[in-house]
Amino acid sequence: MKRIISITFIVLLVVFGCKKEDLTIKEISISTKEQTIKIGEKIKLEVTHTPNHLPAPIYVWRTADSNIAKAYADGTIEALNVGETVISVSTKDNLLKSECIIKVLPIDASEIKFNTNELELFIEEENTLTYTIFPDNTTYKNVTWSSENEDIATVDKNGKVKAIGIGETKIIVKTENSISASCNVKVNPIVSTAIKLNKNTLTLEMSDKETLNAIFTPYNTTNKKIIWSSSDNSIATVSESGEVTGINEGECVILAITEDSGVKAECTVNIKLKGLILSKFTHKMLINDSDIISVFYSTNNKPYNNAIWTSSNPNIATITSNGTSSNTATIVSKSVGTTTIKAISADGVKQTACQLNVTDDIREFINLEIITSGNTIINGFVIGDAYSKISNNSKQTILLTAFYIIDGYSGNIVAMSTDSSKLGTLLPGATTNLGTKLNSVYYPIFRWIFTWNNKSYQIEHQYEKKSYFTPKSVKKLNKI
């Protein structure tokens, strides 16, 4: 029995031991199923085969997207562009195959530098900043620009910086992966180097105004504030805005100084007389009398001392200056009539006039006024106190000789006085009054009789249908 078993084993051993060996590769495999590389980099993929004791077959390498990565015959892979592709390897007969996903990443910026870290500009000046990104082969080189303070400087998408206002700020450039650099920008004012005024000389009349304008060099000077001054404020003044006002006759200099650099410009100002006014526009005088007339600057009512005086008819009245240091003149009336008195400026340019009427009727200078207190009027009949006030507005003394109160209906005298103690002389500028208590007198007439220059005169006025009040200036009422 043992012998049979041994023979069987030997037969099997011979049969199987003599079978031919299989030399076929069953599988190929890339050493990694996914690989990340950056643009421009190269890697070599390794392939293994099974069984591994057999010689390696001839491999064929392919890429699914040649724009993303390129596959070389030796298994070298070169990254071309950002993206993802599949790299495959197969045997020449294409019976065996293996794949690997390749992810191509961009080359990020590691640093960005400006061509300068400091930039100094004048207002409105422009300058373009340049920069360098590292490494040189950075994939995405797009940048964004910004200014920390756009009131001082702005920057556009191309890096052009524009100075806006005085001060300092930072201009920042930033890559897509947030790597940044900054440049300190200092904006300086444009300082004036010279100015001139729109007028070198200026002529104004007193009280007239005109504004001087300063022209700067350079034209775009930042600080255009001017400090204005007058060499003589009694001749002309100047405001903060350069407005010149004529004050008095004469000449002065208006000075303009720039606030930023102190450069200067001047304008010589000549102030002329604007006009004259007289103390009287119309005037009335008695014959053979004298009076004083005055002339003033029309702008400030100050005395004008250099007038030339004339009378259009010296036969009516003459006019004589009271001296070059005086603004007055003396009028002497000669005969009845009308003449024009003129005051003419020293340069003969300006003049003013007064119409003078000379009369021989002194009554034109006598003024009458009715004074009442607590009166009652019934159908025109006046009951109560009534007085007549007489004022001597002439320069002559008159002699009051009689006073009458007359009924305005019947014409009868209801009261009278010839008492010299109550009448008498009435000096120039003086006033007096007379009256009494009335008892039903119809609109009474008050009549005064006086003498002047050896002639007798009569002047009267009548009570009217209106209210009268005792003026405060009348301290005493004199009864007949």
The strand pairing partners of 197, in sequence order, are: 214
Q: Per DSSP, what are the bridge partners of residue 170?
A: 184
Q: Checking DSSP bridges between strand 424-426 and strand 34-38, what pairing results, if any?
A: unpaired
Query: CA–CA separation, 448 vs 459, rounded Å?
Result: 5
Distances (CA, A) of 474 to 285, 390, 478: 27, 11, 10
At which residue do the structure tokens 């034109």 appear? 364
Q: Which of 239, 458, 258, 438 is nearest to 361 (CA)?
A: 458
Q: Which of 299, 300, 293 is closest to 343 using CA atoms?
A: 293
pLDDT at res. 1:
41
How far is CA 96 from each of CA 32, 62, 72, 165, 293, rounded to the nearest angstrom? 17, 13, 18, 73, 136
Task: Record the tokens describing residue 80, joined without a space.
Answer: 């071309």
pLDDT of residue 6: 47
What does the block give as tokens for 4?
């049979």
Q: What is the edge-to-edge ordering of all strands in the sheet holding 34-38?
A: 34-38, 97-105, 83-91, 59-63
The pLDDT value recorded for residue 373 is 80
What order of strands is seen across the sheet that includes strand 276-278? 276-278, 290-297, 328-333, 317-321
Domains of the chain: 27-105 (2.60.40.1080), 111-188 (2.60.40.1080), 197-261 (2.60.40.1080), 276-359 (2.60.40.1080), 362-462 (2.60.40.10)
**Strand order across the 180-188 sheet:** 118-122, 180-188, 167-175, 143-147
Question: Could you tell me if 479 and 385 are in contact, meaning their C-beta atoms sit under 8 angstroms apart?
Answer: no
Q: For residues 82 and 103, give the distance between their C-alpha atoms in angstroms, rounded to a whole number.
A: 8
**pLDDT tens across the length of the chain (480 residues):** 444 444 444 433 334 444 456 789 999 999 999 999 999 999 999 999 999 999 999 999 999 999 999 999 999 999 999 999 999 999 999 899 999 999 999 999 999 999 999 999 999 999 999 999 999 999 999 999 999 999 999 999 999 999 999 999 999 999 999 999 999 999 999 999 999 999 999 999 999 999 999 999 999 999 999 999 999 999 999 999 999 999 999 999 999 999 999 999 999 999 999 999 999 999 999 999 999 999 999 999 999 998 999 999 999 999 999 998 999 999 999 999 999 999 999 999 999 999 999 999 999 999 999 998 878 899 999 999 999 999 999 999 999 999 999 999 999 999 999 999 999 999 999 999 999 999 999 999 999 999 999 999 999 999 986 655 555 555 566 777
Query: Do the Cβ atoms of 270 and 245 come closer than 8 Å?
Result: no
92 φ/ψ sector (left φ>0, alpha ψ -120 to 50, else beta): alpha
Residue type, 151: D
CA distance 31 to 45: 7
Strand order in the sheet with 160-163: 126-128, 160-163, 153-155
Distance (Å, whole) CA 426 – CA 74: 147
Distance CA 435, CA 388 (A): 6
